[in-house]
Chain A
């Protein structure tokens, strides 16, 4: 495995239940204040906490792209128009040409909420609604096509959909296309929006908590689902002097079970080691790890074991799911941006809601956000199907 050529993070935008734009996420991290709320949601018949982005209700898809209209793409647009992202993309377009900027994005459920609504309509009226457009909303490629059109880009790309590792793996795909000269720069990102399929699906696996999620807590009892969107502009380092760099990635499969992680975290260990090899860094040089930390019994246990095997018990880490909820296909980009903010803002995020640490895990996350300046951080994302991805960012 070859060392990777680092790429600069030259722009970023983030939207989640902590708020719209990176200033809101920074404020939430600094104040240890969660975006999760115990709230009713149309169609939901059980109690849980949710990470909703209410601002998405006021977003309208551009008239010429209205076939793409669905909550997922509206959330994408909300992120694209935040944090001056358009301006950065515009200058990248001028520098490289629209056909030389790739778009690699991740989602787990795309616009499935439209299909859910169409079936509900069918249940009551015996027909699908007139404007139902499966291939422009629910089809997994909808997000990539929408973002590419909305930004006026014409380079390579696709939508990666590997459940909760989707928008972490986009960094690896974009890097490979840049380093082989198929594009000069790339937009990477991810979006997942609330839908009944994931809420009732995780409920069927008894993985949804009725309370606020408590990663690494002895009494943790499941996830809270959140929605989120985030995008990053990835460019060669020569155009991003002084910016945080994307330094390494590791991808692996558990080859164990469709919805349960390998109990000893074998796949996670492989992903973390490969990311460090590509970044030419060793375990002692990784100063903070943003955990996948979903707050299910099995995930946190397997992840803690994998961390112990790679880093021992002295590692500094936290799960930020207590701030945003588990944003599923958007977790990779959300937690990558949080990790980059940790580097830029000199803060290490706290692990909210961990009131009584599960000592059996041996790995103890930071309880509250702490001021600290670090060089290199890692973020982990693991998905159904045993799909793992670890990323490294640093100065």
Chain B
């Protein structure tokens, strides 16, 4: 299966400013951890925005980093992939339920669904197409990308794919595997837009092969900090316009081989 990568966006600690992010991905600068600022997804109406959590704002801000002139309201679908979802919400709900009164607010509850970010995004964008929210644990990035590419292959049109994960608050963080927040958004289509970055082909699965590492070795801590980090070598390859193959971990011990051409 071969599809066009029409645009990409990344947000994480130290990857906020677009130009700086680009020079880090090109290997011109080293990545350094920096505290995340409060993200403001201003496409959401204020009344909806104030109900959002840092994880929802991370996902929305990342999609907002894509150029928006190709969002066809009729033929755009979305795939939202997050390994852990919003553990800040789980923490608040489970804390409230451990007390005698057991009072949960309606906003807390409707934010608890795994498709919360997708719901807010559809309200903000008015995109009414199919929307999938999924998890595959450590294989979440690859599984989400596979679903997005598969949707484009079957139905054509455009798929907005966003993978995002956010560290859990204490005390859940000791049981969770996400060290840094990170979101990657990719707009995928069966046809090339004017500024397309290249084509992506899912070549197939293999065992006994090592995962691709980041070419800019300073990004390695970010790649290893969450399931979303698995996508960093792919994003680097797309920004560098390098014709190359990347190996991304999938379910169990299996890996996906992906070819990038420009």
Contact = CB atoms under 8 A, between A and B. Distances in A.
Nearest to A163: B113
Nearest to A278: B155
Nearest to B227: A141
A258 B93 contact: no
Contacts of A138: 90
Contacts of B254: 154
Contacts of B103: 200, 204
A108 interface: yes
B97 A387 contact: no
Nearest to B172: A134
B150 interface: yes
A391 to B, nearest CB: 13
Given A135-B175, A158-B134, A162-B115, A253 B120 contact: no
A140 B132 CA distance: 14
Query: At the interface, is chain A mostly helix, strand, loop or mixed?
Result: mixed
B115 A134 contact: no
A38 B122 CA distance: 38
Interface residues of B, number: 66
B114 A108 contact: yes
Given A120-B98, A254-B128, A387-B119, A204 B93 contact: no
Contacts of B104: 197, 200-201, 203-204
A323 B80 CA distance: 33
Contact of B171 (A122, A140, A157, A205): A122
B137 interface: yes
Nearest to B153: A180
A182 B129 CA distance: 24
A141 B106 contact: no
B176 A112 contact: no
Contacts of B85: 140, 161
Interface string A173-206: 1001101101000000000000011001111110
B199 interface: no
Contacts, number: 210
A76 interface: no
A206 B65 CA distance: 38
**Top 5 A-B residue pairs of the complex, sorted by shortest distance between their CB atoms:** A385-B119, A161-B114, A201-B109, A251-B130, A141-B137
B67 interface: no
Contacts of B172: 115, 134
B150 A182 contact: yes
Given A123-B98, A258-B110, A384-B115, A267 B128 contact: yes
A1 B155 CA distance: 6
A141 B83 contact: yes
Interface string B54-93: 0000000000000000000000011000011100001001
A180 B90 contact: no
A173 B176 CA distance: 27
Interface stretch (B139-147, B183-191, B217-225): B139-147
Contacts of B153: 176, 180
Interface string A126-157: 00100011110011111011001000001011
B255 interface: no
A173 B90 contact: no
Given A163-B113, A385-B131, 10 more contacts: A108-B113, A112-B90, A140-B134, A144-B135, A156-B146, A159-B134, A161-B134, A205-B106, A255-B127, A256-B123
B131 A251 contact: yes
A196 B169 CA distance: 21
Given A112-B90, A134-B172, A176 B115 contact: no
B188 to A, nearest CB: 14
A18 interface: no
B46 interface: no
29 contacts: A43-B102, A112-B94, A116-B98, A119-B94, A119-B97, A135-B176, A140-B83, A140-B114, A141-B137, A156-B146, A158-B139, A158-B144, A160-B132, A161-B85, A169-B132, A200-B103, A201-B104, A204-B109, A251-B130, A251-B132, A253-B119, A253-B131, A258-B51, A384-B110, A384-B115, A385-B116, A385-B118, A385-B122, A385-B133
Nearest to B130: A251
Contact of B123 (A134, A142, A160, A258): A258
A158 B140 CA distance: 8
B112 interface: yes
Interface of B: 1, 51, 77-78, 83-85, 90, 93-99, 102-106, 108-116, 118-120, 122-123, 125-137, 139-140, 143-144, 146-147, 150-151, 153-155, 171-172, 175-177, 251-252, 254
A238 interface: no
A179 B127 CA distance: 26
A179 B129 contact: no
B250 to A, nearest CB: 8
Contacts of A119: 94-95, 97-98
B119 A384 contact: yes
Contacts of A43: 97, 102
B114 A177 contact: no
Interface in A211-270: 251-259, 266-267, 270
A118 interface: yes
Contact of B140 (A141, A179, A205, A387): A141
A161 B150 contact: no
A159 B143 CA distance: 10
B125 A255 contact: yes
A387 B155 CA distance: 19
Given A140-B114, A254-B122, A385-B119, A2 B155 contact: yes
Contact of B128 (A200, A203, A270): A270
Interface centre among A108, A179, A196, A255 (most CB of B within 10 A): A255
